[in-house]
């Protein structure tokens, strides 16, 4: 008896230790995620280590971020457009201009002569706007200050150009809208099909047919997403391209169809559980009152199981929003604001997966991708909370 109690205590302690350790690890991962992501808002959109310098004769001591981008994109070419009437033509200078301006042999092996050469060139050209690493720009030239990236600019910005020079663009509105379009389209396909399939398998299909079909549905949930992506790329994308006569078939519609297929097992399985949880007495009472089988399903079974079906749909949302490889392969990955399901779009998961490997660790691009992951985490977290609330409400009833 004593040995049994000791064994039970050891098992109980092991379970408690495992659960505590898992919880702490998960919390540490979440803290690391937000720590890296929130660092974005302590940074300016300027390339790390760079400065923006102007000539002392230049009366413009401040320039907004949009104007600087337009200068380097050659949309603004005259200082007069920014308020300096006698400034003449703007001469933007980037590191790519070094070899065009100076002879390579005069720069030195480690560019040790670049700073004095830049100083002399800058003094002779008051119209310059220089974007260079700070160690090559003399302190006597005024430096333009940019404001830190704000949450509003990050969420509401329309341009995602994380590697543009010298000003980066970290606007994720197009990426968020692309994610929403794909997810909404997937659910418009998956929810009706999933609910109909759940009703059929739970209430209409013969037990032998249900026993035959259910393992295949559960198998669909275990197929790697890259296989789904390959299927979408080979089958769905060409069909869409030919049907709608498009230049490319990688569109939001392709992502929606593929994610709808991926979400179906979740919706069907949970929907069947919700329908089968309806007490048998309720169905027998309905039939005893003269209702037929379909009337019983429509008037009794579905109203009773509706919260479970809703929770299945919400969990399907979480499944589609968090999908990566399938979305990456079939949506075209174009960071543009969609106005049609036939446009290429980019999702949050695809952006992180495609760019994180190329982003320098600790850099501004790296932090922006972590912030994207934070937004995805918050979204799926609230979706799961909503599903839990719906399920608990159903259990209380």
In whole angstroms, give the CA distance from residue 111 to residue 117: 10
Q: Are residues 251 and 284 in the same domain?
A: yes
The proportion of the chain whose per-residue pLDDT surpasses 70, expressed as a percent, equals 97
Q: What is the mean pLDDT of residues 113-122?
A: 89
In whole angstroms, give the CA distance from residue 256 to residue 189: 8
Range of the domain at 7: 2-42
**Residue 180 belongs to some domain of the structure:** yes
Residue 221, pLDDT score: 79
CATH number for the domain including 109?
3.40.190
Query: What is the pLDDT confidence band of residue 254, given thresholds at 50, 70 and 90?
Result: very high
Q: Is the pLDDT of residue 390 over 80?
A: no
Query: What is the pLDDT confidence band of residue 59, given thresholds at 50, 70 and 90?
Result: confident
Q: Are residues 55 and 31 in the same domain?
A: no
Q: Are residues 93 and 181 in the same domain?
A: no
Concatenated DSSP letters for 349-395? HHHHHHHGGGSPTTSHHHHHHHHHHHHHHHHHHHHHHHHHHHHHHHH
Q: Are residues 328 and 185 in the same domain?
A: yes
Q: Are residues 58 and 31 in the same domain?
A: no
Q: Are residues 191 and 91 in the same domain?
A: no
Q: Are residues 382 and 357 in the same domain?
A: yes
Sign of CA dihedral 219, 221, 225, 229: positive
Computed over every residue of the chain, the mean pLDDT equals: 86
Q: Are residues 360 and 380 in the same domain?
A: yes
Q: Are residues 226 and 136 in the same domain?
A: no
**Residue 68 belongs to some domain of the structure:** yes
Beta bridge partners of 366: none
Q: Are residues 62 and 18 in the same domain?
A: no
Query: What is the pLDDT confidence band of residue 24, given thresholds at 50, 70 and 90?
Result: very high
**pTM as predicted:** 0.85
**Residue 156 belongs to some domain of the structure:** no
Q: Is the pLDDT of residue 298 over 90?
A: no
Q: Are residues 59 and 79 in the same domain?
A: yes
Q: Are residues 19 and 67 in the same domain?
A: no
């Amino acid at each position: 008896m004593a040995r049994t109690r000791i064994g039970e205590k050891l098992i109980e302690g092991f379970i408690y230790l495992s659960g505590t350790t898992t919880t702490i690890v998960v919390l540490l991962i979440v803290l690391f995620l937000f720590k890296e992501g929130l660092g974005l808002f302590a940074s300016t959109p300027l390339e790390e280590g760079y400065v923006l310098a102007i000539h002392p004769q230049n009366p413009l001591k401040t320039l907004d971020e949009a104007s600087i981008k337009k200068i380097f994109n050659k949309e603004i070419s005259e200082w007069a457009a920014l308020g300096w009437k006698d400034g003449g033509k703007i001469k933007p200078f980037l590191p790519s201009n070094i070899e065009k301006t100076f002879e390579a042999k005069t720069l030195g092996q480690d560019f040790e002569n670049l700073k004095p050469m830049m100083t002399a060139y800058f003094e002779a050209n008051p119209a310059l706007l220089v974007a260079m690493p700070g160690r090559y720009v003399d302190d006597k030239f005024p430096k333009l200050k940019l404001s830190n990236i704000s949450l509003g600019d990050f969420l509401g910005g329309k341009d995602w150009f994380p590697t543009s020079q010298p000003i980066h663009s970290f606007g994720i509105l197009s990426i968020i809208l692309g994610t929403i379009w794909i997810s909404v389209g997937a659910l418009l396909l998956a929810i009706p099909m999933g609910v109909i399939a759940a009703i059929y398998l739970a209430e209409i299909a013969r037990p032998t047919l249900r026993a035959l079909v259910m393992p295949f549905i559960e198998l669909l949930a275990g197929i790697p997403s890259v296989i789904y992506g390959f299927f979408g790329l080979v089958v769905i994308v060409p069909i869409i391209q030919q049907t709608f006569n498009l230049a490319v078939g990688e569109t939001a519609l392709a992502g929606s169809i593929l994610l709808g297929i991926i979400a179906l097992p979740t919706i069907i399985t949970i929907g069947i559980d919700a329908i089968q949880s309806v007490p048998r007495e309720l169905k027998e009472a309905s039939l005893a009152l003269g209702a037929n089988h379909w009337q019983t399903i429509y008037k009794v079974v579905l109203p009773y199981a509706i919260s479970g079906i809703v929770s299945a749909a919400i969990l399907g949302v979480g499944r589609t929003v968090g999908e990566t490889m399938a979305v990456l392969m079939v949506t075209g990955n174009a960071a543009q604001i969609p106005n049609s399901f036939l446009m290429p779009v980019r999702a949050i998961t695809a952006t992180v997966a495609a760019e994180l490997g190329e982003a320098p660790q600790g850099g501004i691009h790296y932090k922006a991708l972590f912030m994207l992951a934070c937004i995805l985490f918050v979204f799926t977290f609230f979706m799961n909370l909503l599903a839990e609330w719906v399920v608990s409400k159903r259990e209380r009833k």
